[in-house]
Amino acid sequence: METSLFDSKQATGPSLLPSSQAPVPLLKTRSTFARKLLVSLGIIIYGAYIWRCTHANGLNLGQLKQDGEGEARCAQSDVLIPEKNGDLWRSLSVTFGTEDFKKRAVDWLGGAVRVPTESYDDLGHLDEDPRWDAFGPFHDYLLDVFPRVHETLKLTKVNTYGLLYVWEGSDSLLKPLVLAAHQDVVPVNPTTVDQWTHPPYSGYFDGERIWGRGSSDDKSGLIGALSGVESLIEGGFKPTRTVVLAFGFDEEVSGRQGAQKLVEVLLDRYGKNGVALVVDEGGGFGENYGSVVAVPGIGEKGYTDTRVEVNTPGGHSSVPPKHTSIGILAALLVEYEAHPFKLELSRRDPFYSTLQCVAEHGKDLPESLRKTIKRSWSSNKALLTLEKEISKNPVYKALVETTQAIDIVQGGVKANALPEQAWALINHRVSVISSVGETQAHDAKIIEGLAEKFNLTFNAFGTKLSKEAFGAPSSGSLTLSDAHPGTALEPAPITPTLGKEATPYKLLSGTIKATYNSHRDLTGANEIVVSPGMMSGNTDTRYYWDLSKHIFRYSHINAGSGTGLGNVHTVDESLGINEFVEMIRFFATLILNADEATDL
């Protein structure tokens, strides 16, 4: 899963929303109040995981009333326990709690980690680049350790390394459940290998945690789903509703060879909106203001990279012009950073839904903050107040607005030669109430005046925006373009959480509660709150929009345990075995609950 860690600085002045002191959620802050807020809202960042939407989706929380009173701001589903397969579910619940099963789980995930499956930004064609061959041994491993899955489910390999497992249900009229994950992991930087507590591909188990690249992102999701299916088959379960396992192999590099090809097959087989719901990697749960809150992602922000390129005449550096291409580019980049995108908090934004859930169910939320959030439901003045508070916190601000990050700069080839070309790449994560087009228009508008100042012909995304050098002989050219054609991504449609179309969300919510309770031997208790959430990065679900309106980014990882999340994409990635077994329990429970649902 792609994650984003945000650098944070202490905001100045009083704030209802204290600023983060650290780049990741759930870290200690200097003040108790700030720490509580980070715990209550910061979990939505997990990394690593959640969201996006389009203008046409309307209010996520239902129609806004004038008085705003009496509305269910964060309605909760009941605990959902399988009935028809209740005996099997209870039997599996006991099994999942045994030491013998824990050992199996350690072996399953540890062995998967020991098969490196790195994906790289510069991978060539499947038939030409030998680095793709790493996935062959991983397929052999899965075949060896999940024999019942391979005996029972039909496996189709899509585009060589994509894995599509189909567990055919007895009722073909029921839309299938799709569980998605990805096989690939981000590469381990060779210079950091000696910094790992245990070698990055050791799959080492220290009695509490499994160590290694992919243990958390995302082999835990892939192996967790397979483990759940293997356990159900061992228990004699035969599905009524078809279950599909779809595992891409290049999610970390945008999924164009893996998930995109898998979805083409699924669309051909099941048709548009032919799937009941899709569950892919995403958010987790943790304690927030005295309440345990799970945050399934119901959307994702958009994505685009802008290339800013300046071309000027070359020559000997002993006779320089007033501005070289590098100097001009530097001025352009300063202008960008001086004019960031405007923050606008919308009631359509999934982050706003999260705030409402915190206000509704956070037992220890300060009343002043609770009042502001609740009043914003019907008061635009309160909404603006909340917006201003969010703007003081870099983490929350980045979740709401369109962001810009200048990540790459290049120019020049020699000390005594004038640079003929200089360019930079600006990465954008597009707000859920904006679009790629609006983002590109903003990029063009900000620097149009500088193009005239430096007497450059100006072409922005294929459109010439200036007459030839503004009526004077040209001093060069300025070009804005899509840095990676074909990868720009609009904000995702928001998954319904209210009304007639909310049944899949309610099913997921009830499953989360049942899993949480059974893992802790809670009987009939409603101990966990489920809130719509959003992630800053993107997942393979970018390709699933046509397949289902009900897409959830959720991994059921205990992010608040202190042992759940483990250094995704960096040194010492790891996962607690207790958290992994709970993930397996979640997948098995979800399959059983979906199988008994008749209105998906």
Residue of 218, 251, 540, 573 marked active site = 251
Residues in the chain: 600
Strands of 233-338 (E only): list them. Answer: 243-248, 277-288, 291-294, 297-300, 302-311
Q: Measure Cα distances from 524 to 258, 453, 518 in Å.
A: 41, 69, 9
Does residue 67 have an active-site annotation? no
Does residue 184 have an active-site annotation? yes
Strands of 449-509 (E only): list them. Answer: 457-460, 463-464, 477-482
Give exposure, 223-254, as e/b (b: 16+ Cβ within 10 Å).
bbbbbbbbbbbebebebebbbbbbbbbbbbbb
Which two structure tokens, joined as six digits, stand for 446?
């900000």
Which two structure tokens, joined as six digits, stand for 124?
């060539």
Place of tokens 């399988």: 82
Q: Does residue 582 sit in helix, strand or coil?
A: helix
Do the annotations mark residue 252 as ligand-binding? yes
C-alpha torsion sign, points 46, 47, 48, 52: positive
Contact criterion met (CB below 8 Å) for 181 and 222? yes
Do the annotations mark residue 569 as ligand-binding? yes
**Distance from chain centroid for Cα 453:** 41
Do the annotations mark residue 264 as ligand-binding? no
Distance CA 544, CA 549 (A): 9
Residues 6+ apart with CB under 8 A from 300: 50, 51, 52, 491, 492, 534, 535, 537, 538, 539, 541, 542, 553
Element (H, E) at 178: strand 177-182
C-alpha torsion sign, points 270, 272, 277, 281: positive
Do the annotations mark residue 482 as ligand-binding? no
Distance CA 205, CA 39 (A): 28
Residue of 184, 218, 305, 360 marked active site = 184
Q: Which residues are catalytic?
A: 184, 251
Binding-site entries = 182, 217, 252, 280, 569
Binding-site entries for Zn(2+) = 182, 217, 252, 280, 569
